Structure 1
Amino acid sequence: MKLINGIRAGAMLLLLCWSARGIAQEYGEFDINRGNGVLYHISYGGHSPGGDLGRRFGNHFSVGTGLEWITDRGNWLLGAEMNYFFGNQVAENPLSALITDQGFIIGNDRTFADIQLRMRGFYAGAHVGKLIPLGPRNPRSGLRVTVSAGLLQHKIRIQDDPLRFVPQLDDEYKKGYDRLTNGLAFTEFVGYQILSTNKRINFFAGLELTQGFTMSRRSFDFDTRTQDTASRLDFNVGLRVGWVLPFYVGERASEEIYY
């Protein structure tokens, strides 16, 4: 009888240990990416402009960074971000008045200077959004939707010839040619984000749309000899991918279960 009771007790203990192991695996795995959290990210994007922005620049790229808070209940997102734009496709040439009949700009030594035009800009704003789970296994992976409001700024960067100085393009004179423009802008993002249960794979990827209500911020353009006072509507469409570094806070995030 004692042998039978011992076997029963051993079986019950084994069953309890097995159940505890399964619970620890299930809840321990899920809880490692649960709780309120701070998400830091770096990202890279490729963009195609439209509207007034498309008449000035061609396709370009961006690098970005951001910081946001994700809530334990509802996966709501609240944060800030900044993206730096760069490219070498410039459709508008503000230096046309300096170009000779041969198509060159003359340097101070009376020889042709190599002047390049580049696109530069940034977007800085604050966003709100939500992470919508697409399955029961990981409530922190699914559809990421955010909307943002902030400042969009862009200009034409005039890259000098390092061997030949052009007096008309001295640093102070460049302001009369660079078309510095900025204004209120809105950005929407729709994509997929995963915050893995083991914290090893954390990224997002998706479609980004920007609408900018901008104006020229220069008081005088040298090539047109006027001030540009027109309102602009800048569009930017792109794909953005980012790597996320999560930091979870709260009781559930700090618990560790051993078995």
Structure 2
Amino acid sequence: MMRNILVLLAFLISNAQAQENTKDPIIFLAPHYNFHIPSWDLAKQYGMFSSIGLEGLRINSSNLVYGIGVDFIAGGTIKDTNLLSHLEDERGYIITEDGKVAEILLYQRGYNLQLKGGYFKALSTPSSGLLALGGIGFTQYKTKIVVRDDNVPALNSEHIKMYDHLTNGLNTSGFLGYLHINEKNRFHFYAGIEMHRAFTYNRRSYNYSSNGAEKQLRNDFSTSLKIGWIIPISKRSTTEYYYY
């Protein structure tokens, strides 16, 4: 009888410890990639684009999630095909100081910086399940104009600001996806759908395309497929776990 009681007590203690351990925080870094489809005002300027970034997140004992994230934006589709047309000659070329045809490249460039918060719902294991995140922060983007050999006077470092549409403002986001941490093979990832909405303003005092300042509030929106690789710092486990 005493032996059975001791066995039962040992089982209850072991089970309680295991349950307590499942409440250990999960802390991880996550380099990630997003493929964005723009809409609203953002789609008037740019086509589909990508971003790469890094998030640092912590899931506490109540499954609340918080952290910080940064993304760097890169795209190659500029919708305004007449952005520099007034600089072209009758053949449609922009000419350098040397009388040669200038090589000019246009890109979309920018970044997002956000504070993150949300909730994690464990499913198959204490470290895998649904992840819902919201974010708020700052975004900035522009049309980057690259002039090879930098020999077009009309596109020097000051004049180029008339064409780059430098824009920034408040950025919000929402993410819903799946987070997976595998103790056996260290195959850790998360993936899902993320939406961004930004409330921005053009910050240039003069824009050539509008012959003045653009003071109206912009509603920039994008929907993206997001996938990231997880680098755990700590995770929920009933055994010690070391990371490199």
Q: Output the CA distance in 2 between the equivalents of 1:226 and 1:255.
A: 60
Report the Cα offset of residue 250 of structure 1: 9.6
Q: Retained in 2: the 8 A contact 1:34–1:248?
A: no
Q: What secondary structure, in the 3-state scheme, does the structure 2 residue paired with 1:55 have?
A: helix
Partner of 1:133: 122
Name which of 176, 190, 196 aligns with 1:204.
Answer: 190
How is 1:184-199 mapped onto 2 (pairs within 5 angstroms)? 184-198=170-184
Amino acid at match of 1:175: K
Tell me the residue number matched to 1:39.
28
What is the CA distance between 1:223 and its match in structure 2? 4.2
2:52 touches 2:72 (CA, 8 Å); kept in 1? Answer: yes
Q: Does 1:149 align with 2:136?
A: yes
Deviations 1:114-138 (A, max 9, x none): 1111011111110101111223xx0
Superimposed CA distance per residue, residues 145-174 of structure 1 (whole angstroms, 9 cap, x where no aligned partner)? 000001121100001123x61011112221
Partner of 2:92: 103
Say how many residue pairs are matched: 231
Q: Which residue of 2 aligns with 1:6?
A: none
Aligned position for 2:68: 80
Matched, 1:245 2:204: no
| Residues 85 and 92 in structure 2, CA contact (< 8 A), matched pair in contact too | no
| 1:176 and 2:162 correspond | yes
Contact kept, 8 Å, 1:131 with 1:140, in 2: the verdict is: no
Paired with 1:255 and 1:231, the residues of 2 have a C-alpha distance of 50
Specify the SS of the correspondent of 1:119: strand
Gaps of 5+ in 2: none
Task: Report the alpha carbon displacement of residue 36 of structure 1 after superposing the two structures with TM.
Answer: 1.7
The reply on whether 1:121 has 2:110 as its aligned counterpart is yes
2:78 paired with 1:90: yes
Q: Which portions of structure 1, spanning 4 or more consecutive aligned residues, are displaced by more than 4 angstroms? A: 249-256
Contact 2:110 2:141 in 1 (8 A): yes
CA contact (8 A) 2:140 2:166 kept: yes
CA contact (8 A) 2:26 2:127 kept: no
Aligned to 2:211: 225
Q: Distance in 2 between matches of 1:227 and 1:111?
A: 33
Q: Which residue of 2 aligns with 1:3?
A: none
The answer to whether the Cα contact below 8 Å between 2:41 and 2:218 also exists between their aligned partners in 1 is yes
- State TM-score, norm by structure 2: 0.85
What is the distance in 2 between the residues matched to 1:229 and 1:96? Answer: 24
Q: Which amino acid aligns with 2:80?
A: E
Amino acid across the alignment from 1:88: G
* 8 Å Cα contact 2:189/2:229 also seen in 1: yes
CA distance in 2, matches of 1:195, 1:59: 31
Distance 1:255 1:96, change over 3 A: closer
Task: Report the secondary structure of 2:44's partner residue.
Answer: helix
Whole-angstrom CA distance in 2 between matches of 1:250 and 1:44: 25
Q: In the aligned structure 2, how far is the partner of 1:159 from the partner of 1:201?
A: 40
**Separation in 2, partners of 1:223, 1:45:** 30
Please identify, of 222-231 and 119-128, the stretch whose mean Cα deviation from structure 2 is larger.
222-231
The aligned amino acid for 1:172 is E
Rate the CA distance shift 1:233–1:77 in 2: closer, same or farther, 3 A.
same
Which amino acid in the other structure matches residue 228 of structure 1?
Answer: E
Q: Distance in 2 between matches of 1:45 and 1:251?
A: 30
Q: CA RMSD in A?
A: 2.9
When normalised by structure 1's length, the TM-score is 0.80
Same amino acid, percent of matched pairs: 29
* Letter matched to residue 35 of structure 2: G
Residue in structure 1 matched with residue 42 of structure 2 by the alignment? 53
**Structure index of larger Rg:** 1
More moved, 202-211 vs 100-109: 100-109
Per the alignment, in what secondary structure is the counterpart of residue 86 of structure 2?
helix
